[in-house]
Amino acid sequence: MRATEDRVHSTLDDLGELLGADRVLTGDDVLAQHGADESWHPPAAPDAVVYPRSTEEAAAIVKACHGRGVPVIPFGAGTSLEGHVLALQGGVSVDLREMDRVLRLSVEDMDVTVEAGITREALDAKLRPEGVFFPVDPGADATLGGMAATGASGTTTVRYGAMRENVLSLTVITAGGEIMRTRSRARKSSAGYDLTHLFIGSEGTLGLITELTLRVHPTPEAMSAAVCAFSELSGAVDTVIDVLANGVPVARIELLDEVQLDAVNRHSELDYEVAPTLFFEFHGSQDDVASQAAEAEALAREHGAHGFVWTADESERRRLWRARHRSYEASRALRPGARAFTTDACVPISRLAECLLETKRDIGETGLLAPIVGHVGDGNFHVAILLDPDDPAEVERAVAFNERLVERAIALGGTCTGEHGVGLGKSKYLELEHGPEAVRLMREIKAALDPEGLFNPGKVV
């Protein structure tokens, strides 16, 4: 249900007074840009875009909007793959790009407090000189607020955990426009219900995240990388299982299927063997990374790996991982003009080979062009289906394929989304995955914390 035009106008007048006209924008371009993301969903523009510069301003914005029944949609970098930022009922998109400061950093406590609009790469640039880093790396240069809101993870999660493991505390604007801190800065706490984790992954539907206190980690003395090809995909997965069971503390372990590897070769001008391939990264002392690589190599060879190439050279390592991180662009380059419809299944690792093989068979039968890349240490993989968004038949085939994949993952004890979030596209799977009682509880929580349903309406539950 949209707010009436009158209400929206009065709200925009209030916001103009609060922020000045240059931070309340209603031009077509800016509205269109804030009503679309990287997903295949049709765009839906907000009524206005506003740019707070502080938590206090953000609180005043929420109060002004909600006071008149106008929805608030948080906006970070717009890199969502699930339609999170679409303004389905209009309302005000709150773009946090001007809240991008590091508020404090403590190397003693290994934590940092930032505003929600800072991007991952900007944060990294601030942290590196201090000898620490923030490990969660979803690939895209997302904002930290957006990463918390979707419960993001990525290539390093196998070693360092996801956002859930690396956020200590959040500052959130609640539905009434009040400022709340979810918990103290202590490393651990049992003081009441865990509000921090409730807001991580809530996708802007319970409140507006304006600040985050994050765990940081000491920069490892040495990093090295390795790559190796397998004749069979299952050999790669079995290697991952053995590496983890042996406690080798790999920092990253990523799978690319032969279609993806071919795309990466072309896009990054590399000449890796076109086969199911594992990319590794190791962190530690010089000795550690060498012994970790030796252990991983031995396990990989037991499972049919050939051509295990290891490098401690910094530029070589960066080149390898840049290629991996560009796999999304590499995929899209396989079919110029196409959009990528990206799936996000995640299953227990013991079921991963089965799930992958069945999915590849399905890709073959459906005739889709769809490379696979996976955070295999977590059992999570993405199929990037390259499609013409203007061809309804093709979109329909992709949607049906994804539906089968989601059902397969859930049947294997997994989830419909490992890291991209529910957004617009996956609400319908929540009951299949969690059962009716869990979804009922989620709805009760939404109703309790946002009784008028004005935070990012139409998403999650």
Which helix or strand (DSSP H or E) is residue 234 part of? helix 233-245
- Write the Ramachandran bin of 88: left for phi over 0, alpha for psi from -120 to 50, otherwise beta: alpha
Out of 80, 380, 402, 456, the only residue in the binding site for a copy of itself (CB under 8 A) is: 380
Q: Give the integer Cα–Cα distance in Å for 162 and 354.
A: 25
The answer to whether 254 contacts a copy of itself (rule: CB under 8 A) is no
What are the two backbone dihedrals, phi and then psi, of residue 217, each rounded to the nearest 5 degrees?
A: -130, 150
Among 430, 454, 455, 456, binds a copy of itself (CB under 8 A): 430
CB of 337 to a copy of itself, least distance (A): 29
Stretch that binds a copy of itself, among 303-311, 321-329, 344-352, 364-372 (CB under 8 A): 344-352
Q: Which of these ranges, 88-96, 118-126, 271-279, 341-349, lies near a copy of itself under the rule CB under 8 A? A: 341-349
Spatial CA neighbour of 31 closest among 75, 84, 65? 75
Give the interface size with a copy of itself as a residue count (CB under 8 A): 96
First to last CA, the chain: 16
CA dist., res. 203 & res. 145, Å (int):
10
Work out which of 416, 424, 425, 455 binds a copy of itself, going by CB under 8 A. Answer: 416
CB closer to a copy of itself, 229 vs 345: 345
Contact 284, 242 (CB under 8 A): no
For the segment 279-298, give every residue that binds a copy of itself (CB under 8 A). Answer: 285, 287-288, 291
Contact flag: residue 24 with a copy of itself (CB under 8 A): no
Phi (first) and psi of residue 382, to 5 degrees:
-115, 130
> Exactly one of 68, 97, 159, 217 binds a copy of itself (CB under 8 A); which one?
217
Neighbours of 124 (CB within 10 A): 14
Tell me, what DSSP letter sits at residue 209? E
Which strands sit side by side in the sheet containing 179-181, from one edge to the other? 102-106, 111-115, 208-215, 167-173, 179-181
Nearer to a copy of itself, 121 or 194 (CB): 194
Using a 10 angstrom Cβ sphere, with 0-12 exposed, 13-18 middle and 19 or more buried, the burial of residue 457 is buried
Residue 33 C-beta: closest distance to a copy of itself, Å? 24
- CB of 72 closer than 8 Å to CB of 454: yes
The only residue of 188, 365, 390, 393 in contact with a copy of itself, by rule CB under 8 A: 188
Per CB under 8 A, 202 contacts a copy of itself: yes
- Does 413 contact a copy of itself by CB under 8 A? yes
* Binding residue (CB under 8 A) for a copy of itself from 53, 181, 317, 326: 181
Which residues, including other chains, have CB under 8 Å from residue 171's CB and lie 6 or more apart? 55, 179, 180, 181, 182, 209, 210, 211, 212
Q: How far is the CB of 249 from a copy of itself (least distance, A)?
A: 8
Asked if 410 interacts with a copy of itself (CB under 8 A), we say yes
Give the whole-angstrom CA distance, residue 387 versus residue 328. 14
When binding is defined by CB under 8 A, the residue of 68, 185, 319, 332 that contacts a copy of itself is 185
CB 197 within 8 A of CB 78: no
Q: Sketch the per residue contact string, 349 through 368, with a copy of itself: x for CB under 8 A, - otherwise.
A: xx------------------
Least Cβ distance, residue 290 to a copy of itself (angstroms): 12
Q: How far apart are CB 427 and a copy of itself at their closest, in Å?
A: 9
Within residues 58-97, the interface with a copy of itself by CB under 8 A covers none
User: Does residue 234 belong to the site contacting a copy of itself (CB under 8 A)?
Assistant: no
Candidates 143, 415, 455, 456: give the one binding a copy of itself (CB under 8 A).
415
Tokens of 170: 């959040």
| Per-residue contact flags (x/-) with a copy of itself for residues 156 to 175, judged by CB under 8 A | -x---xx-xx--------x-
Nearer to a copy of itself by Cβ, of 77 and 346: the residue is 346
Report if residue 251 touches a copy of itself, rule: CB under 8 A.
no
Query: At its nearest, how many Å lie between a copy of itself and the CB of residue 293?
Result: 14
Q: Which residue has the tokens 């005000």?
A: 92
Is the Cβ of residue 4 or residue 219 nearer to a copy of itself in the bound state?
Answer: 219
Q: Which two tokens stand for residue 215?
A: 């765990």
**Residue 26 sits in the site that holds a copy of itself (CB under 8 A):** no
d(CA 336, CA 321): 23
Of the candidate residues 4, 189, 231, 286, the single one contacting a copy of itself (CB under 8 A): 189
Residues 120-149 close enough to bind a copy of itself by CB under 8 A: 131
Query: Which residues ranging from 258 to 277 are in contact with a copy of itself (CB under 8 A)?
Result: none
Position among 25, 30, 122, 198 found at the interface with a copy of itself (CB under 8 A): 198
Q: Does 445 bind a copy of itself (CB under 8 A)?
A: yes
206-to-74, 245, 457 alpha-carbon distances in Å = 11, 38, 10
CA atoms of 165 and 76, how far apart (whole Å): 21
